[in-house]
Structure 1
Amino acid sequence: MTLQPTLRPDCGNCFALCCTALGFARSADFAIDKPAATPCPNMSADFSCAIHQRLRPRGFRGCTVFDCFGAGQVVSQRTFGGTSWRDNPSSTSSMFAVFKVVKQLHEMLWYLAEAQQRTFDPDLASAAGHLSGRIATTAQGDATAILDTDVETLHMEVRALLMEVSEELRASYGAEDTQTHDDGTHRNGEHSGADLMGAVLANQRLCGSNFRSAYLIGANLRNSDLTAADLLGADLRGAHLHGADLSRALYLTQPQITAAEGDPTTLLPQRLTKPDHWS
């Protein structure tokens, strides 16, 4: 029997895979350049972060936003049996590659769990559960099986199901998918892929709107109601969510929230937490 994995990071049981396998370039989010497959200079001997409590003021805001959806501890303790890449250097490249795949699989599981719980259609709920079970089984396989996974096909299957659930839920708020018009406007709450950087969307009823993959960087969403708004892949960096109601928004993740700005009056889904910098 395949158990659904925990989709929350447990850094104490991970071999700092996010700090080693992944690379980043110097930017507003990272104070330095770090090539992929190299340890971060801030990593301690026990795989912890030496500046964890000071990441933002030290210029590593991007580290505070990243979330592996629990992939790190699964790869470290289950796939590779608790033996680190440091203790077994020959496993390094394989472990890092597996981590990147499992992180994607766990992110899919995060979205499918919500789709299964939110849909009104028993058939869609069953389909989400079945697909989730397949992905969980894959994520808990051995390294070879994981690396042989056709991730692109799984992404397509998951996305199709998520969109179907989204359309169902948003339609219950009178929203329908429409195309962008020649004048650049988006009617019926359709903003999929739209450039809304810095847009003023405060104090609005945005229920059922489609913000899928939209650029909401620095957008003002203060005191707006985003119930059943599809935020799959939306870029919320620096978005102002003070007083906004996202408690029933669709497909919201912790990285999106951590990248945004809010306050104690912002309402979030139960499985998300308010970032420390909001207070």
Structure 2
Amino acid sequence: MKFAVSSKGNSISDTLKNKIQTYLLDFGMELNEEEPDLVITVGGDGTLLYAFHRYSDRLNETAFVGVHTGHLGFYADWVPSEIEKLVLAIAKTPYHIVEYPILEVIVRYNDGGREEKYLAMNECTIKSMEGTLVADVEIRGQLFETFRGDGLCLSTPSGSTAYNKALGGAIIHPSIRAIQLAEMASINNRVFRTVGSPLILPDHHTCVIKPRNDVDFQVTIDHLTLLHKDVKSIQCRVADENVRFARFRPFPFWKRVQDSFIGKGE
């Protein structure tokens, strides 16, 4: 099996990365950073997000597993003291693949057929670079509302525990193929009105955001911040691709939610 190891870049993570590589090479596995079957990330959820984007062109072939060296990871479920156990599991145990839906974002421009496609594991946010965002929101080709406010967030089920949760969005189990649209500080008064609640769209529904004025947009794709000019529309839907995680032991979603936000209690 071909593998790669991605590190957060601090001394603890780099040391663990070198140890994992050495152990796996000793077991006869092949280090291949270009076409890995398995990517082990060492650091935290941000490190896994970076690895996801690095290998986003081969999601059908590459699976991920994370080791967290800081706070509890939502995606990274192994800890440094378990490195030997993880390496043995990788070398000796057939792993179970768990697939989570991700978000496809297509930005189209006014100058014709040019478009940019992105994949997000957590979310995409859309903001105006010049004050209030004013945009029509279409769902399945029909105008749903004209949004006025700070911005919009479209998240995946696995990303529903991130920025979406801070916006008052629902937490969605990643077995549900859907995306969620949440508002950022919408303007609601006697003149302007939005639905004011997060929307959960199934995988056969497409959401298109069309600006009502000629402004530049700040679009984030997970940790990436992009400036887009002359935007005609931003289309969001459940992607055809999935992100694949290698599971060597149970890692229940609701247990992660409980550990991340509630704790064990008394």
TM > 0.5 fold call:
no
Query: Normalising TM by the smaller chain, what interval?
Result: under 0.3
**TM-score, normalization: structure 1?**
0.26
**TM-score, normalization: structure 2?**
0.27
Higher share of residues assigned strand: 2
Higher share of residues assigned helix: 1
